[in-house]
């Protein structure tokens, strides 16, 4: 199935091949991108179609675990503790090529790499990822000590070195990355200010009552949080950050600025190849992740691929490793043979984060989003404990809020506050949403409870929140 | 709706009424039993039908949280820390009567209580619970210092007092109660031996590899575990336990014996009323929990009610507070008005337990059970970490095993080993089973991941176990 034009040089130990020694090569499946979605797409493809030769091309020698990146600023001692192991790929027979895609020739089924190698593919999986937003309007964004958080080990290692001689850090944008990086830098001893233009932090994922709680926990731990104000300029002295000007005109001293103002899909190379992008710059895809409208031989997954919200059915900008992996598995399984029972039916946006021993999880849409989109919803919240009796040593308060469609009872969203079990409880609710379970069906469902591990059977917050809603429905 | 024949004496503060002052009373809904299922049935009924008068009759002044009972032997200082709060009932308007049911007159719609009060009901909910098994064949079972674990505060308080002057305890039967009580007594300083006739502990809920792991953890903590041997006799000296004779003839010294050999439904009073019981002594019920075949006005829920296994469709003997509560919600919601979308479709048996910082969860059927029932299954296991990267401080190994029908791919069961998130991860899988999700559908589902709270998106054990199975299906 493949032709070698030049001699191959392969390190058996790592499975990494130096691509510069090739000129042209024919393979079955080419995956471009080494992040979560590229990795998962390659693994699923190879395990679903073991006879196919699967090659993954990526720029990075080593790939960071994406959601672990904020933790290299505190909990982990450095970025080397946050590496996606190559053996996940090599152990199933995926070949890794460290190189860079510079051109896609759609008609010819070819990709041109920076090393001048051309790879001829039968199927192409684009997992191009995303790049941090650095707004063009933001004066001072190019000063020394203004950083972003890309998924790039070399760059982030330089950030860590630069930060080590600085003290006051302003983090701009309080999404998950902004919150986690702030908390980690604070843990490491930096004086951290987190700036958010919306009135609460984590605003896209949580309703205000949860955002306020998260803000309180961050503040208790020493992070200064400013909400309802944006940045208008970064001022410098000798080319380095010295102050941040807020939208109100206030001046705040800062040695460093971290921009966590969102990410844009990394799709320039796809655009240049004539592949269609949507208004937000994502590669248009169908529910099997095939790119629209041109071909059945190219799929796009992860941060570069178009997303449709599971609940609102609108095009959405959510970027999540977990969603990316689900898309990647869908693309991989359907690559050579479509199965109508395995489409990707929309993004649920299941997130969680932790601030100290307190955790926050969310799945589906918030109440605020539901109102904005004109859903008629009934919401119910219940606060209990995450163990029972609730007086055990590691007990944590557990609050669950459900957002339910008032006409059909379908669960559209949930928010959770709690302890160590919050992430998996959020996943449990995510499964309910994905299976279109109604709030009344939930009340007849069985949920295991155990004193040390969960809330009590008679006061399990998820079920109690459902009861609150059903009572309001009468 | 109700007639008072005598003056009512009501404590407004607790909502507890002394029933002895009544002679006859007419109410809408009578719930008999104060455990998890009675409590939940009363709450659901009252919140679903707020105009109905709901009275709960129970024997106990104070009700223990059932799954918390093992923890009164160690973690909790005494049983008063494990009380179901009456305000769960009184706050929604359920009235509590402390009394005992002695006769049900089905035709007359009447219940006779020990105080000679007669309650005339429109609807009757039987939540009679279960009583510990004390095998008639077991010689010495009535010796002093042979105990069982009923849901009875007064009895268990006496057990705690009796144990306080003893040292060596033999726990017979290594189901969840036996394992948890052993671990707690060991924690408290007792010399504990746990005896199990099957070759592994927790045998009904877990396949051998998990049972062996649980046994290892118990032993590391100091519990002596003996498997593959039963008890044949308990020997005494001066009327008190002195030795236990094993099925092999071995003699083991013991000051106390705790029998955790299972529970039987507490259904004598129902049987005497002509209500039909199944071969195991449970009250026969339909999927709306109505008792069969006689009436639409009596329902049975919890340990006393017939169970059908969700997967095998066979009559089952599982007793679980969580299942009981789901039955109770089903019965309560459907009590006056059947809704065809809310039947109870069978017991999934979702359990979890913890041994120190290690936790075990199970949902649905085991591989062994599947084989025994003639299901054709494919199993897959994956061991990863419950955080990512897996080198964080509180990381715990996480192993997930899935049991999947080889023809249709439906998930029939799962077993989980891990840390603090094990209970909720097990619940998440429980939702998959209840929604009849196939292993291939699972691979396209979204699962939120977060470094401190869950496994990694690319090595999430539940998904990796599914991948193992799908690969075997090819």
Q: Are the beta carbons of B299 and B306 closer than 8 angstroms? A: no
Q: A416 or A321: whose pLDDT is higher?
A: A416
CA distance A56 to A326: 18
What is the Cα gyration radius of chain B? 24
ipTM confidence = 0.91
Res. A14: pLDDT tops 70 = no
On chain A, the residues whose CB falls within 8 A of the CB of B430 are 428, 445-448
**How many structural domains comprise chain B?**
3
- Distance from A167 to chain B by nearest Cα, in Å? 26
- Distance from B137 to chain A by nearest Cα, in Å? 32
* A254-261: average pLDDT: 98
Q: Are the beta carbons of B381 and B465 closer than 8 angstroms? A: yes
Please report where in the chains the tokens 């809920």 appear, as a residue: B205
Q: Is residue A346 part of a domain?
A: no
Q: Are the beta carbons of B270 and B283 closer than 8 angstroms? A: yes
B77 close to A (CB below 8 A):
no
Least confident of A16-20, A409-413, B26-30, B139-143: A16-20
Res. B13: pLDDT tops 70 = no
Res. B391: pLDDT tops 90 = no
Of the partner residues A70, A345, A446, the one whose CB lies closest to the CB of residue B434: A446
Chain A residue with CA closest to B421: the answer is A421
Please report where in the chains the tokens 């189901």 appear, as a residue: B175
> Exposed, middle or buried, B445 (CB in 10 Å: 0-12/13-18/19+)?
buried
Least confident of A372-376, A385-389, B99-103, B381-385: A385-389
pLDDT at B258: 98
On chain B, the residues whose CB falls within 8 A of the CB of A354 are 450, 452-453
Residues A380 and A423 in one domain: yes
Mapped onto helix, strand or coil, the DSSP state of residue A21 is helix
B248 close to A (CB below 8 A):
no
Q: How many residues does this entry show for chain B?
A: 474
CA distance A310 to B465: 26
Q: Are the beta carbons of B468 and B381 closer than 8 angstroms? A: yes
CA distance B217 to A234: 56
Residues B413 and B461 in one domain: yes
End-of-domain residue from the set A209, A231, A261:
A261
Confidence of residue A343 (pLDDT cuts 50, 70, 90): confident
Residues B274 and B253 in one domain: no
Residues A30 and A112 in one domain: yes
pLDDT at A19: 47
Give the N- to C-terminal CA distance of chain B in Å, as an integer.
65
CA distance B312 to A331: 34
- DSSP code per residue over A68-117: GGGGGGTTSSSGGGSBPPTHHHHTTTPEEEE--EEEEETTTTEEEETTS-
CA distance B201 to B228: 9
* B276-302: average pLDDT: 92
pLDDT at B18: 53
B50 close to A (CB below 8 A):
yes
Q: Is residue B33 part of a domain?
A: yes
Residue A101's CATH number: 3.50.50.60
Q: Are the beta carbons of A442 and A411 closer than 8 angstroms? A: yes
CA distance B185 to B75: 9
Residues B54 and B123 in one domain: yes
* B76-96: average pLDDT: 93
pLDDT at B229: 98
Confidence of residue B2 (pLDDT cuts 50, 70, 90): very low
- Distance from A27 to chain B by nearest Cα, in Å? 22
CB count within 10 Å of CB B293 equals 8
pLDDT at B295: 76
Which residues, numbered 413 to 442 in chain B, qualify as contacts with chain A under a Cβ-Cβ cut-off of 8 Å?
419-428, 430-432, 434-435, 437-438, 440-441
Q: Are the beta carbons of A27 and A34 closer than 8 angstroms? A: no
CB contact under 8 A, B420 and A419: yes
Residues B309 and B367 in one domain: no
Residue B365's CATH number: 3.30.390.30
pLDDT at B22: 52
Residues B255 and B283 in one domain: no
Q: Are the beta carbons of A9 and A115 closer than 8 angstroms? A: no
Residues A363 and A465 in one domain: yes
Backbone φ, ψ for residue B439 (5° rounding): -65, -30
Q: Is residue A237 part of a domain?
A: yes
Q: Is residue A343 part of a domain?
A: no
Residues B273 and B223 in one domain: no
Residues B126 and B274 in one domain: yes
CA distance A260 to A195: 10
Chain A residue with CA closest to B176: the answer is A450
> Exposed, middle or buried, A294 (CB in 10 Å: 0-12/13-18/19+)?
middle
Q: Is residue A187 part of a domain?
A: yes
CB contact under 8 A, B456 and A430: no
Alpha helices per DSSP H over B171-309: 176-187, 208-220, 268-272
Chain B residue with CA closest to A344: the answer is B444
CB contact under 8 A, B448 and A361: yes
Q: Is residue A345 part of a domain?
A: no
Q: Which residues contact residue B77 at a Cβ distance below 8 angstroms, ignoring those fewer than 6 apart?
A: none
End-of-domain residue from the set A274, A299, A334:
A334
On chain B, the residues whose CB falls within 8 A of the CB of A443 are 44, 329-330, 333, 342
CA distance B8 to B13: 15
CA distance B359 to A82: 26
CA distance B339 to B333: 8
Q: What is the mean pLDDT of chain A?
A: 93
pLDDT at A18: 53
CA distance B168 to B190: 6
Which residues constitute the domain of residue A78?
A: 16-131+264-334
> Exposed, middle or buried, B195 (CB in 10 Å: 0-12/13-18/19+)?
buried
CA distance B171 to B179: 8
Least confident of A224-228, B9-13, B356-360, B440-444: B9-13
Confidence of residue B26 (pLDDT cuts 50, 70, 90): very high
* B19-48: average pLDDT: 89
Q: Are the beta carbons of A128 and A50 closer than 8 angstroms? A: no
| Packing angle of the helix pair B461-473, A36-48 (nearest 10 deg) | 20
Least confident of A2-6, A241-245, A347-351, B470-474: A2-6
Could you tell me the two tokens for A295? Answer: 């071909």
CB contact under 8 A, A448 and B454: no
CA distance A424 to A416: 10
CB contact under 8 A, B463 and A325: yes
Q: Are the beta carbons of B242 and B253 closer than 8 angstroms? A: yes
CB contact under 8 A, B424 and A419: no
Q: Which residues contact residue B271 at a Cβ distance below 8 angstroms, ignoring those fewer than 6 apart?
A: B277
CB contact under 8 A, B446 and A392: no
Q: Is residue A150 part of a domain?
A: yes
Please report where in the chains the tokens 């982030």 appear, as a residue: A156
* A226-230: average pLDDT: 98
* A379-396: average pLDDT: 91
What is the DSSP pairing of strand B240-246 with strand B315-316? unpaired
CA distance B4 to B338: 31
DSSP state letter for B307: E
On chain B, the residues whose CB falls within 8 A of the CB of A359 are 452-453
Residues B253 and B231 in one domain: yes
pLDDT at A5: 42
End-of-domain residue from the set A239, A261, A283:
A261
Q: Are the beta carbons of B197 and B229 closer than 8 angstroms? A: yes
Confidence of residue A296 (pLDDT cuts 50, 70, 90): confident
CB contact under 8 A, B427 and A71: no
Backbone φ, ψ for residue A338 (5° rounding): -70, 135
Q: Mind listing the pLDDT tens digit for each residue in B109-127? A: 999 999 989 999 999 999 9
Q: Is residue A349 part of a domain?
A: no
pLDDT at B294: 64
Q: How far is CA A457 from CA A389, A462, B375, in A?
A: 11, 10, 31
pTM of this prediction exceeds 0.95: no
pLDDT at B389: 82
Which residue from B453, B25, B106 is spatially nearest to B300, judged by alpha carbons? Answer: B106
Residues A255 and A274 in one domain: no
Sign of CA dihedral A445, A450, A451, A453: negative
Q: Are the beta carbons of B447 and A350 closer than 8 angstroms? A: yes
Which residues, numbered 309 to 328 in chain A, qualify as contacts with chain B under a Cβ-Cβ cut-off of 8 Å?
320-326
Which residue from A80, A90, A43, A84 is spatially nearest to A67, judged by alpha carbons? Answer: A84
Which residue from B172, B257, B74, B333 is spatially nearest to A440, judged by alpha carbons? Answer: B333
Please report where in the chains the tokens 């008190």 appear, as a residue: B240
Confidence of residue A52 (pLDDT cuts 50, 70, 90): very high
CA distance B145 to A422: 42
- DSSP code per residue over A395-463: --EEEEEEEEETTT-BEEEEEEEESTTHHHHHHHHHHHHHTT-BHHHHHTS-----TTTS--TTS-HHH
Q: Where are the beta strands (DSSP E) in B59-122?
A: 95-98, 101-105, 110-113, 118-120
């Amino acid at each position: 199935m493949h032709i070698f034009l030049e001699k191959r040089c392969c390190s058996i130990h790592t499975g990494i091949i130096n691509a510069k020694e090739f000129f042209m090569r024919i393979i079955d499946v080419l995956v471009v991108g080494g992040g979560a979605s590229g990795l998962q797409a390659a693994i699923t493809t190879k395990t679903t179609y073991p006879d196919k030769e699967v090659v993954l091309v990526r720029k990075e020698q080593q790939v960071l675990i994406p959601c672990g990146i904020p933790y290299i600023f505190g909990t982990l001692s450095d970025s080397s503790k946050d590496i996606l192991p190559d053996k996940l790929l090599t152990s199933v027979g995926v070949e890794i090529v460290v190189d860079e895609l510079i051109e896609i020739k759609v008609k010819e089924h070819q990709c041109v790499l920076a090393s001048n190698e051309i790879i001829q593919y039968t199927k192409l999986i684009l997992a191009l990822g995303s790049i941090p937003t650095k707004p063009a309007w933001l004066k001072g964004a190019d000063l020394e000590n203004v950083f972003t958080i890309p998924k790039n080990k070399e760059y982030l290692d330089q950030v860590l070195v630069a930060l080590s001689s600085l003290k006051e850090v302003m983090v701009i944008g309080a999404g998950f990355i902004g919150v986690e990086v702030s908390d980690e830098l604070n843990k490491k001893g930096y004086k951290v200010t987190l700036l958010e233009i919306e009135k609460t932090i984590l605003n896209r994922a949580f309703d205000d009552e949860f955002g306020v709680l998260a803000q309180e926990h961050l503040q208790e731990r020493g992070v200064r949080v400013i909400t309802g104000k944006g940045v208008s300029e970064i001022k410098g002295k000798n080319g380095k950050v010295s102050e941040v000007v807020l939208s109100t005109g206030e001046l705040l001293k800062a040695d460093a600025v971290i921009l966590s103002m969102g990410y844009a899909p990394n799709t320039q190379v796809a655009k240049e190849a004539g592949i269609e992008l949507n208004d937000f710059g994502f590669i248009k895809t169908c529910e099997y992740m095939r790119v629209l409208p041109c071909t059945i031989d190219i799929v796009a997954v992860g941060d570069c691929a178009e997303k449709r919200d599971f609940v609102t059915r609108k095009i959405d900008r959510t970027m999540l490793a977990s969603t990316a992996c689900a898309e990647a598995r869908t693309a991989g399984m359907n690559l050579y043979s479509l199965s109508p029972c395995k489409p990707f039916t929309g993004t649920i946006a299941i997130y969680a984060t932790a601030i100290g021993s307190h955790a926050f999880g969310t799945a589906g849409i918030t109440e605020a989003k539901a109102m904005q989109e004109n859903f008629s919803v009934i919401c119910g919240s219940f606060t209990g404990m995450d163990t029972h009796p609730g007086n055990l040593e590691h007990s944590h308060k557990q609050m669950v809020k459900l957002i339910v469609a008032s006409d059909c009872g379908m669960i559209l969203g949930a928010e959770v506050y709690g302890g160590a079990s919050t992430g998996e409880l959020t996943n449990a609710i995510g499964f309910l949403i994905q299976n279109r379970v109604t709030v009344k069906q939930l009340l007849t469902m069985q949920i295991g409870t155990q004193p040390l591990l969960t809330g009590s059977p008679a006061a399990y917050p998820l079920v109690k929140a459902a009861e609150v809603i059903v009572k309001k429905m009468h």
